[in-house]
Amino acid sequence: MINSRIFAHQWTTSESREIFSESARVARWLDVIIRLAQAQAECGIIPAGAANEIAKLSEVDLPIDEIALRTRQTSHSTLGMIQVLRELLSEQSAEYVYFGTTVQDITDNSQILELREVGMLLWRDLWLIENDLLEMSAKHRTTYMAGRTHGQPGSPITFGFKAATWDDEIGRHLQRLREGCGRFIVGQFGGAVGTAGFFADRAADLKTAFCRKLNLAEPGISWLSARDRQAEFGHLLAMCSLSLARIANEVYNLQRREIGELAERAQATTVGSITMPHKRNPESSEQIVALARLASAQAAVLTETMLHEHERDGRSWKAEWAVFPEICHYTLAASGMARELISGLEINAEAMTRNLGGNASSEYLLSLMTTRLGKHNAQALLQDAYRRSKQEQRPIESVLEGELTEQELDGLSKIEIGAAENMIDRVVETARQRRTTETENWL
């Protein structure tokens, strides 16, 4: 689906396809190789002239088909590319490309650079989504609607309250992304088994210079077999996807014709059903849910890569090559769709009021009667009354005639939302305060 010319727009974005395209991957690997050579020249390990010549490879249009052929011939992850690069260099400089390092010194750093780009895009989307949800929460602070539990109408809430719970959750993901920067965006340098033994007493300085050239934080120790950073980031992507799916799932359900409280914005060209022209399907909402399920599944696989054997285990870290791009595609597709969904969400306040029904005051009535009868006695009385009201098709007032005080009778028509407005205000105020110290940019 990701590479489908017909369906890719539902499973990925143009931005994520650019990050993980074959040409971008090769260019990223080459950039890491160039930074390595520059760091080695800075530390006096290879000649400066060789590093300069290697750096000029960035101007060359690398033959990907030839790299692919050499990769298959050598059965080695990066040797095919190194062979091609060596042939583009002078005999003297060719000896210093990919000097003294190993596959993971290239691919792990490349993956962290990908992670950084993905994180920046996700931050941007969540930042914009949070802004729309803040406005929605404040605007609909007193737009009454039915709260629902177990799929059934319960006590009243406001739509602003519902939106504020969404906003509060998205805000926590923004905080997690911010707090995770120092753990996620970290360079890798270890050589054969993590000690960079090839470089002897110059290894520590080279590690520092290499990470600086890549603009990545320097790790205290190499992490060839410690994959918790990728696993944590993957789970954060899954959590973000699932939070967006919670919003989308609510829209999916409340767009049902018999409920009609929310709806996706539809274009004039949108077709709900070929055979049922009246339908208006929540296409984006259901797609976001599907994407979240896939992201969640891939996060589980990514966690499995934490189980490594000894100092290098291709069974684990090579699995990341397949899983990591996919979870990024799914998450960015979900966040992009969610931006559109939320910014264009149609809110039907009249339907929300209509769907409150005649039983919205039962919790408040219970609290009034508890003072007089005790909680459990009052609950039992009301439970039976509402049962009889439905069974006998009589108004609840008729069933409870003679049982209620004047104050309790007034309570039958009162919409009580407790601390909902206070909670909305706190969420909105806290988020807006936090956003004064942040920007739309992750880094």
pLDDT tens profile 307-332: 999 998 888 888 999 999 999 999 99
Question: Going by C-beta distance under 8 Å and a sequence separation of 6 or more, which residues neighbour residue 368?
Answer: 405, 407, 408, 411
Instruction: Provide the pLDDT for residue 164.
Output: 98
Same fold, 11-101+190-222 and 102-188+225-356+425-443: no
Confidence band, pLDDT 50/70/90 cuts, at residue 227: very high
| Token pair for 407 | 């104050």
**Enzyme catalytic residues:** 150, 273
Confidence band, pLDDT 50/70/90 cuts, at residue 83: very high
Q: What percent of the chain has pLDDT over 70?
A: 97
Q: What mean pLDDT is predicted for residues 334-353?
A: 97
Instruction: Provide the pLDDT for residue 378.
Output: 84
Does residue 432 register a pLDDT over 70?
A: yes
Instruction: Provide the pLDDT for residue 141.
Output: 97
In whole angstroms, give the CA distance from residue 324 to residue 304: 12
Instruction: Provide the pLDDT for residue 366.
Output: 85
Instruction: Provide the pLDDT for residue 198.
Output: 95
Q: Which has the higher per-residue pLDDT, 278 or 302? A: 302
Q: What mean pLDDT is predicted for residues 220-245?
A: 96
Confidence band, pLDDT 50/70/90 cuts, at residue 264: very high
HEC string of the chain?
CCCCCCCHHHCCCHHHHHHCCHHHHHHHHHHHHHHHHHHHHHCCCCCHHHHHHHHHHHHCCCCHHHHHHHHHHHCCCCHHHHHHHHHCCCHHHHCCCCCCCCHHHHHHHHHHHHHHHHHHHHHHHHHHHHHHHHHHHHHCCCCEEEEEECCEEEEEEEHHHHHHHHHHHHHHHHHHHHHHHHHHCECCCCCCCCCCHHHHHHHHHHHHHHHHHHCCECCCCCCCCCCHHHHHHHHHHHHHHHHHHHHHHHHHHHCCCCCCCEECCCCCCCCCCCCCCCCCCCHHHHHHHHHHHHHHHHHHHHHHCCCCCCCCCHHHHHHHHHHHHHHHHHHHHHHHHHHHHHHCCEECHHHHHHCCCCCCCHHHHHHHHHHHHCHHHHHHHHHHHHHHHHHHCCCHHHHCCCCCCHHHHHHCCCCCCCCHHHHHHHHHHHHHHHHCCCCCCCC
**Tokens 């802004």 map to which residue?**
131
Does residue 266 register a pLDDT over 80?
A: no
**What are the residue ranges spanned by the domains of the chain?**
11-101+190-222, 102-188+225-356+425-443, 361-414
Average pLDDT, the chain: 93
- Nearest to 222, CA basis, from 194, 254, 250: 194
The class that CATH gives domain 102-188+225-356+425-443 is mainly alpha
Instruction: Provide the pLDDT for residue 275.
Output: 64
Instruction: Provide the pLDDT for residue 173.
Output: 98
CB 170 within 8 A of CB 130: yes
Instruction: Provide the pLDDT for residue 349.
Output: 97
Instruction: Provide the pLDDT for residue 272.
Output: 61
What is the second-level CATH architecture of the domain 11-101+190-222? Answer: Orthogonal Bundle (1.10)
Instruction: Provide the pLDDT for residue 274.
Output: 62
Instruction: Provide the pLDDT for residue 167.
Output: 98
Instruction: Provide the pLDDT for residue 180.
Output: 96
Instruction: Provide the pLDDT for residue 271.
Output: 63
